[in-house]
Structures are given as C-alpha cells and as structure tokens.
Amino acid sequence: MASAATAELGVDKRRVREQVKKALRQLSAEQMAEESRLIAARMLASAAFRDSPHAIIYVHCAKLREVDTTAILEAAMAEHKRLYVPRVQDKEANMHFLHLDGWGALQEVPPFGIREPRPTYDDGRERQDVLLVDEPLELIVMPGLAFDRSGRRLGRGGGYYDKFIYSAQDRAAARGWAPPLLVALSFRSQLVERVPVEPHDVGVDAIVTPDDVIACTPAGAAALPASSVS
C-alpha cells in the first residue's frame, strides 16, 4: 500500500512540475523582469532582509526561468552582509554554500549556465563554507518550481535544498541559535492550489510574490509582513 501511495505521489509531482514549467515557458522576458522587480522590492523592504547579517541568497539561472535575484544580491553586498551562494558538489544531493565576495567570484557551470562560486578566493585560500564557520545563519532565500499558500515547496527533484536545510537546522539547534528563516521567491505562475509533498520535503516560512508576501509560519509573518510596493 505504501509503495502504491508513493508511486501516485511521484505521478502528482511530475504533473505539477510539467504544469508549472509550461506556464513559465509562456512568460515573456518583460513579464519576468517586472515580476522580479516587484519581488525584489518586497524582499528588500522586509525585516527578514534588514535584520540578517548572514544570509544565503541563490544566484538565479535565466535558462531555468528563476526569479532574478541580482538586485537582492547587490543590496546584500552593498550592505556588507556575510553572503553565501550555492555550489553543487555531486549528484547525491550534496550542495555547499560558499562565501560570495563579489560578482567576479562566480563562474558559469554547464549545462544550464548556472553561476556558482569558485572553490577558492583569488589568493588561493579555500572559500568559506557556511556550515564550517562559527557564525549563525539568519536567512535562506531559495528558489523552487512550485509553491502553495501553506508553504509547501516543490523543487526540480534533486533534493539539494532539503538536504542542506536539515544540516543547517541541526547545526543551529546544536549551537542554541534560531533556525534560519526560509523564504522562497515565486512568479505568479509558480503558485498552485496544492503542492504534493513527502514527509522529507521542507516547507518555507514565507513566499514572496509580485503581488504579496505569503506568510506560512509565525516566523514568516513576523519577518515578512505584507508590504505595499508598486
């Protein structure tokens, strides 16, 4: 019975992924740019961003039609936040988040041209890994493929963010720190009525859309209250 339910859930996930990918393909470059502008403005106006000296913010991939994070990353660097961005390690869902000290630290990685940080600084030192430094992590700004208003998130199937977030939450608990706030950025077409999830799928505290901020937990409501942006 369990295997049948698991198989059915897998079918549901594939259906939602295809539905949202199709909708994303129909967005024009102008639509994506305008929605990304509104999303960034909401994110930058939030206490979640203002009160997070250490943050993970993903570097968007144009080919995957992700919400553009350029303005958010630039603001974080301008405010001298300790900023970390993802670097995929292998096909076993292992992803490291390394310190970003400037745009020049990024390199494009095939096949999608995702920009990832080089493993070393210009002077040859190993680039800092967020899980290996003795400082808290207040904020994770993450992508996804589909979301619902309860905070359920559907990724692209690799499980990279789920695996990392469990490690980050365990690390915070072991040190007596608050867990990082989990915030997703979403185009309008990525919001669906219900995302099919499994027990290990990590939900988010808040979803930032062009139209509003969807608080999914009390922590999300406190850090990202609805704002007026035009």
> Which residues make up each annotated binding site?
13-17, 59, 66, 153-161
- Which secondary structure element, helix H or strand E, spans residue 29, and what is its range? helix 29-44
The binding site for ATP consists of 13-17, 153-161
Lookup: tokens for 146: 């589909």
> How far is Cα 183 from Cα 153, in angstroms, rounded to an integer?
11
- Reply yes or no: is the peptide bond before residue 119 cis, omega within 30 of 0: no
The binding site for substrate consists of 59, 66
Residue with tokens 């190993």: 126
Which residue in 117, 164, 141 sits closest to 36, CA to CA? 141
Sequence-distant (6+) residues with CB within 8 A of 149 are: 191, 207, 214, 216
Distances, alpha carbon 182 to alpha carbons 14, 15, 63, 75, 111, in Å: 24, 25, 24, 19, 27
Is residue 186 helix, strand or coil?
Answer: coil
> How far is Cα 105 from Cα 122, in angstroms, rounded to an integer?
8
The span from the first CA to the last CA of the chain, in angstroms, equals 50
Contact predicate 142/162, CB 8 Å: no
Strand 146-147 and strand 206-208: the pairing is unpaired
